A and B are shown apart, each in its own frame.
Chain A
């Protein structure tokens, strides 16, 4: 894959119709106060992939995510989920396919207890009380928060709230999981846990994941594909290697290079060498630095 620069007004044809779960075609949405959420947005999600939407605050990432779950509909253009148009068709049961984890867990956890909150989705799916409870326990165990089942959300830490929010969506077994800033406001330990969970969604459940983030280090570590968002539309996309070793693109997006890339590029500059490799993961960086020193 090479970096694709998107023409702002061009329609986007399906990339891989067989594997495509979500297809957003030139969608625009403006809020009642006139501010533009997304503008001629083109975006897609394939089966078994983790896509990172990267852009600065206010670039339209969260607005796009809310379209994927049917919470918002585009005023122009179209959004297709599992082959169904949500703009012109039925979107009332879209939540069964696309689960969304909100940026602020306090906006998501509304029930008196963790049990009640995680059980909310499965009960809405029509599960019996016993099956719903089993789904709740399964999801909480899976995210490593089974001990919180009887707790009140009010007394959970930020990291615990995030785990419970994820369990609340996971208990519904969606095909696509959408997470808005999944590691923002978390301590390093909980960030690592959430990161590991996202990778496991894909590996163990075959769930496709979309994350919106301005943390490029996170995107570099877990994403299969990175989409750069600016002014409400995706203006470039590619693999983490392709995107993050293109500093002008990152500057254009108003973001900062991931640590591994910055360290490697700074090292090469200090050594007076051209970058020969493109390390993204930490172990790749270590290998690249070692091989560079041995020469």
Chain B
């Protein structure tokens, strides 16, 4: 468990950045612009398609890329907890109202809830879409050095969004590290063992209150340090981002063609239905 890891179900920012900085995979040498274009195209495709097979194949391809890069697959599955909960909490209700062949019925007093085959497909499709975007985003972050990522933010986002993102980086690390340290201190004195939900809840509330206060204090210190070096509201990223190579452009071109073919030819993607 890395120092900033709070739970195995929350993506470990420290670990993700460590992989990115290590540049140990073939994909780390691919231009960040190529990988970012890939991310946009993946999002475009999963937005356009409702086809379960396409989503399944795309998910397997991306999972394959992730695994072939040597990234931890078990951890990835643990990190899926939050997106899965998010999708289930949203689609869980919608799925029961989908028309189709009943698969499962549940009678509760006067009411009968029926889950249809279309409801199940809806849940699985949306779940796959969420996992595709999460897996590719993690793959992108774990193969792109942070300096390139931050420089991309600086070039792509308008002010003040770029400033917020750029300044948030260190702050996020420091806050996570602070939270991790406080949790360690709590655990070291037996605070991690649940005796009562009320007491545990109180401890967590106190920890987060402390983190909030300390973060605020730290933000003030950082701001002061920036002013001492002439900060007047504008901060520029100085790193240059590697340009996409010919092979990268070809891959993106091919991906665009594949998306066009899928959109035109495959049912539930705008083509024949």
User: Which A residues form the contact surface with B (CB < 8 A)?
Assistant: 66, 69, 71, 93, 95-96, 99-100, 102, 104, 106-113, 115-116, 119-121, 123-125, 129, 132-133, 136, 150-155, 168-169, 172
Choose one: A71, A109, A133, A152; the contact of B228 (CB below 8 Å).
A71
Q: Provide the residues of chain B in CB contact with A93, threshold 8 Å.
A: 230
Q: Shortest Cβ distance from B213 into chain A, in angstroms?
A: 14
Question: Residue of B at shortest CB range from A123?
Answer: B236
Contact (Cβ within 8 A) B150 A113? yes
Q: Shortest Cβ distance from A225 into chain B, in angstroms?
A: 24
Q: Which of B178-227 contact A (CB under 8 A)?
A: 218, 221-222, 224-227
Choose one: A102, A109, A123, A169; the contact of B170 (CB below 8 Å).
A109
A124-B221 contact, Cβ under 8 Å, with A112-B146, A115-B238: no
Q: Shortest Cβ distance from A179 into chain B, in angstroms?
A: 12
Q: Which of B217-270 contact A (CB under 8 A)?
A: 218, 221-222, 224-232, 235-239
Q: Provide the residues of chain A in CB contact with B21, threshold 8 Å.
A: 151-152, 155
Q: Shortest Cβ distance from B11 into chain A, in angstroms?
A: 16
Q: Provide the residues of chain A in CB contact with B221, threshold 8 Å.
A: 102, 104, 107
Please name 5 pairs of A and B residues whose Cβ atoms are closer than 8 Å in the assembled complex, sorted by A.
A95-B229, A102-B221, A108-B222, A154-B17, A154-B170
Give the distance in Å from the alpha carbon of A121 to the alpha carbon of B239 in the complex: 15
A124-B229 contact, Cβ under 8 Å, with A112-B150, A133-B238: yes
A107-B236 contact, Cβ under 8 Å, with A125-B230, A169-B229: no
Q: Shortest Cβ distance from A118 into chain B, in angstroms?
A: 9
Question: Residue of B at shortest CB range from A107?
Answer: B221
Contact (Cβ within 8 A) A107 B239? no
Contact (Cβ within 8 A) B225 A110? yes
A108-B146 contact, Cβ under 8 Å, with A96-B230, A154-B170: no
A168-B237 contact, Cβ under 8 Å, with A102-B221, A113-B150: no
Contact (Cβ within 8 A) A71 B239? no
Q: Is B97 close to A, CB under 8 A?
A: no
Contact (Cβ within 8 A) B147 A100? no
Which 8 pairs, one residue from A and one from B, show the smallest C-beta to C-beta distance?
A124-B230, A112-B150, A107-B221, A121-B229, A113-B147, A108-B225, A119-B238, A100-B228
Give the distance in Å from the alpha carbon of A228 to the alpha carbon of B196 in the complex: 53
Q: Provide the residues of chain A in CB contact with B236, threshold 8 Å.
A: 116, 119, 123
A95-B228 contact, Cβ under 8 Å, with A113-B150, A116-B147: yes
